[in-house]
Amino acid sequence: MTYLNTKNIERSTNEVEYHPLIPFLPENAKVLFLGSFPPQRKRWCIDFYYPNFINDHWRIEGQVFFGDRNHFVDEKAKRFKIEEIVTFCKEKGIAFFDTSTAIRRLKDNASDKFLEVVEPTDITALLHQLPHCRAIVTTGEKATDTICTSLNIPDAPKVNTYTPIPNIYNKDGKLLVLYRLPSSSRANPLAFDKKVEAYRRMLELML
């Protein structure tokens, strides 16, 4: 199965990029990761979320759940094991998309600082497909700020904390929260082990 949104890829221009991936929304998901927008395709090693081989998201997940940072890594091919990742996320109930469905890149890099949001994601529509969701999780300032604006959250959470999302409840009647984690990018100088512990705390609390 492909997770590429080929219609959006075709409608992207040099100025505006539309989201190239289909939202990954397992019905049993309790955690929804929302980033800002995928990096440029030239930086991808898989057609899925966190596709940049030098981003440590999948290494963190491997360390948290399997005690092995390379559990989802194919070192020889320099790529992540997408089939194992998809199966794992469906089993655990972890969903993915981004806070923007269309952007402009103001510079030729993946930095959030140089992303202009053209069309924010309809986050409420995503949540309607995730009846058991307990937390929206962000790992960057732009994604956090975009969600706070979209969902009328008055105070953005600091890293490693969370805040209630006003008036949004899941099927079980629980108020959803916005949880902020440290970035898994290697541009973030925080030690890998400290990132692992931050993600572990969130996942143990919310899954």
Q: What is the pLDDT of residues 127-173, one digit of tens each?
A: 999 999 999 999 999 999 999 999 999 999 999 999 999 999 999 99
Specify which residues 177 forms β-bridges with. Answer: 135, 164
- Strands 94-98 and 31-35: what pairing? parallel
Is 111's pLDDT higher than 70?
no
* pTM of the full structure: 0.96
pLDDT tens digits, 21-48: 999 999 999 999 999 999 999 999 999 9
Structure tokens at 133: 């969701």
The confidence score (pLDDT) of residue 13 equals 83
Is 108's pLDDT higher than 90?
no
For the segment 105-123, the average pLDDT, to the nearest whole number, is 83
CA-nearest of 85, 120, 98 to 39 is: 98
Q: At what angle do helices 192-206 and 57-66 cross, to 10 degrees?
A: 60
The confidence score (pLDDT) of residue 109 equals 61
Sorting pLDDT into bands at 50, 70 and 90, what band is 110? Answer: low
Distance CA 11, CA 207 (A): 36
| Domains of the chain, CATH where assigned | 14-206 (3.40.470.10)
Distance CA 19, CA 182 (A): 23
Is 89's pLDDT higher than 70?
yes
